[in-house]
Amino acid sequence: RDPFERAAMADVVPDAARELTDEQRRAADELDALADAGEFKVALLHGVTGSGKTELYLRLADRVRRSGRQVLLMVPEIALTPSVAALFRGAFGNRVAIQHSALSDGERHDQWHRIRRGEVDVVVGTRSAVFAPLDPLGLVIVDEEHDSSYKQEETPRYHGRDVAIMRASRERALVVLGSATPSMESYQNAVAGKYARITLEKRVLDRPLAAVRLVNMRTEYADEGPDIVISRDLAAAIEQRLARREQVLVLLNRRGYSTAVFCRQCGDTFECPNCSVSLTVHRARDGWRARCHYCNYSVTVPNACRKCAAPYLEHAGFGTERIEEQLRERFPDARIGRVDRDSVRRKGALTSILSRFAARELDILVGTQMIAKGHDFPAVTLVGVISADVGLGLADFRASERTFQLLTQVAGRAGRGERTGEAIVQTLYPEHYSIQLACRQNYPEFFEREVVYRRGMRYPPFFALINGVVRGRTFEEAMQQAREIVRRLEPATAASSFTILGPAPAPLGRLRGEHRVQFFLKGTRRAEMRHALMQVVAGMPEIRRRLTIDVDPLSVL
């Protein structure tokens, strides 16, 4: 049972004779020296999009496997494994295995035992691949190391990148963290000298980075009305690309057709009965369905208001389904596909649509952040970003970092072939530093701006953070239990270096029928904070099933 047999993008074969650029050669020499040392070391490979990081991975993996050690290459998404694994299999034959959750039970069994028997040199997989039985392990590559998909949010919680570093330290292996937009934590470790820092500042063949145009949607709304979704500049640019038979990516990091539905007469809105969120409207065969993206509750949207019976229900906001609809109306001859969680639920659907786009069977691909991650489409010369600021309104200290990363990554999908690329970014906040600096692809300046805020507010990467969330049948019950935890923790703060914030209602105050109250521990000694919290929880056995503890949370919602 071989997962490569159904790898839809298995025709990707590396050019073994490809010459490295001078910059790549310098980076390769540095990586070779680290690998040859045979000691544990972490290196941050910080290269702009399209700078040839994958070629360096391939050559370094070959060097390590020739020394008799094995290689683990981690990617953030299952969709990236077929193309990456096929690239390595083209170089190393059947000495490559795959590990991810979308494999069938039989495929997973066979791949695991091949690894265990030492029949492979390279394992390619998502975060769970970090537990593959490689021995001896000589190299771990974490591609797109900044990506939040490496964090498992369900129990047991772990971060694949951090587990990889811990495993490598025990097995005296080299870790290479690759990204065009490193996490603040990894970059700070490189600045502080804990990690080696290797940079690639140019694209291969000296191809220019995509030129970025900002469109102020406040001006668009004033000129064209409040219903405009695709700006005049973006529509004209798409028309030009279609005429030249080039491809287009359109990003909106929001699923569904509209974000809410409400009655114009009485103001009633469709809200989830289990979670404190509005229902997202999706197209369905029988009309419209309003769905909660947290608990999957759904209800058919009627023709009249449930409260006042007025026939004035109206959609508010927009998601990828509406973008796809508007593009089909405006460009009826274009072949358009959509990638989001709703369109790729079926096994193999994501790989199929990406393969069709890579084969130029589609002209425009609309999608959420799934289309921004590491894909290489040489015929894409235009990237359009709808609502670039959609993530800035979240009550999360990482909002600016995530916005910068997403915009930089998606802009990097344009102009990776012979023709130059362009990105058009629509936003209500063109002056925001994360958007401005993403358009210039200036990570060092973004880091310097963001680091002032993080240090002043005592957030990572300078302080460790633990998020505790207490769930209860009522808000009062959850708050009472959270207060008791904090009360028992307070004596520990007097003799240690951490502080407590809260308790307070969580931003997502109700989830799947339970009320949520959260508190934070902030400090410079993670182990000390964790030990103090565990001691308190050990003395409150009745609360264990109601308490979620997240060390180094990526989201605080």
Domain 464-551 has CATH 3.30.70.600: yes
Helix (H, G, I), strand (E, B) or coil at 451: helix
Task: Kindly report the number of other CB atoms within 10 A of residue 201's CB atom.
Answer: 9
> Quick check: 7 pLDDT over 90?
no
Contacts of residue 35, defined as CB under 8 A and 6 or more positions apart, other chains included, come to 60, 63, 64, 67, 138, 139, 174
Question: Mean pLDDT across the stretch 100-116?
Answer: 88
DSSP tag of 21: P
Report residue 1's pLDDT band, with 50, 70 and 90 as the boundaries: low
- Quick check: 47 and 227 in contact, CB under 8 A? no
Q: For the chain, give every residue range classified as CATH 3.40.50.300.
A: 3-205, 208-255+324-455
Helix (H, G, I), strand (E, B) or coil at 246: coil
Give the relative orientation of helices 475-494 and 526-538 as an angle to the nearest 10 degrees: 130
* Half-sphere exposure of residue 201: CA atoms within 13 angstroms, side-chain side: 6
- Quick check: 372 and 413 in contact, CB under 8 A? yes
Residue 496: its pLDDT value, please? 77
Q: How many Å apart are CA 182 and CA 196, to the nearest integer?
A: 13
Contacts of residue 525, defined as CB under 8 A and 6 or more positions apart, other chains included, come to 464, 496, 497, 498
Question: Mean pLDDT across the stretch 521-536?
Answer: 93
Residue 4: its pLDDT value, please? 60
- The class (CATH top level) of 3-205 is alpha beta
Q: How many Å apart are CA 331 and CA 363, to the nearest integer?
A: 10
> What topology does CATH give the domain 208-255+324-455?
Rossmann fold (3.40.50)
Chain segment 51-84, per-residue pLDDT in tens: 889 999 999 999 999 999 999 999 998 888 888 8
Question: Mean pLDDT across the stretch 246-266?
Answer: 93
C-alpha pair distances (Å), 377 with each of 76, 82, 179, 334, 340:
18, 15, 18, 18, 18
Residue 12: its pLDDT value, please? 41
Residue 5: its pLDDT value, please? 55
Helix (H, G, I), strand (E, B) or coil at 248: strand
Residue 70: its pLDDT value, please? 96
Residue 13: its pLDDT value, please? 40
Cis preceding-peptide flag for 273 (omega within 30 of 0): no
Chain segment 281-337, per-residue pLDDT in tens: 999 888 899 999 999 999 999 989 988 999 989 888 999 999 999 999 999 999 999
Residue 497: its pLDDT value, please? 82
Report residue 49's pLDDT band, with 50, 70 and 90 as the boundaries: confident
Which long-range CB contacts under 8 A does 259-263 form with residues at least 24 apart? 259/316, 259/317, 259/318, 259/319, 260/315, 260/316, 260/317, 261/288, 261/290, 261/301, 261/313, 261/314, 261/315, 261/316, 262/313, 262/314, 262/316, 263/305, 263/307, 263/308, 263/310, 263/312, 263/313, 263/314
Which long-range CB contacts under 8 A does 29-32 form with residues at least 24 apart? 30/196, 30/198, 31/56, 31/60, 31/174, 31/176, 31/198, 32/60, 32/63
Q: Beta-strand (E) ranges in 252-378?
A: 260-263, 280-284, 287-291, 298-300, 313-316, 336-339, 364-367
Percentage of residues in the chain with pLDDT exceeding 90?
71
Which neighbouring-strand residues pair with 125?
74, 99
Q: 68-82, 205-219, 377-391, 510-524: which range is least confident on average? A: 205-219
Chain segment 34-44, per-residue pLDDT in tens: 999 999 999 99
pTM score, two decimals? 0.91
Residue 9: its pLDDT value, please? 40
Helix (H, G, I), strand (E, B) or coil at 262: strand
Question: Mean pLDDT across the stretch 178-191?
Answer: 97
Q: For the chain, give every residue range classified as CATH 3.30.70.600.
A: 464-551
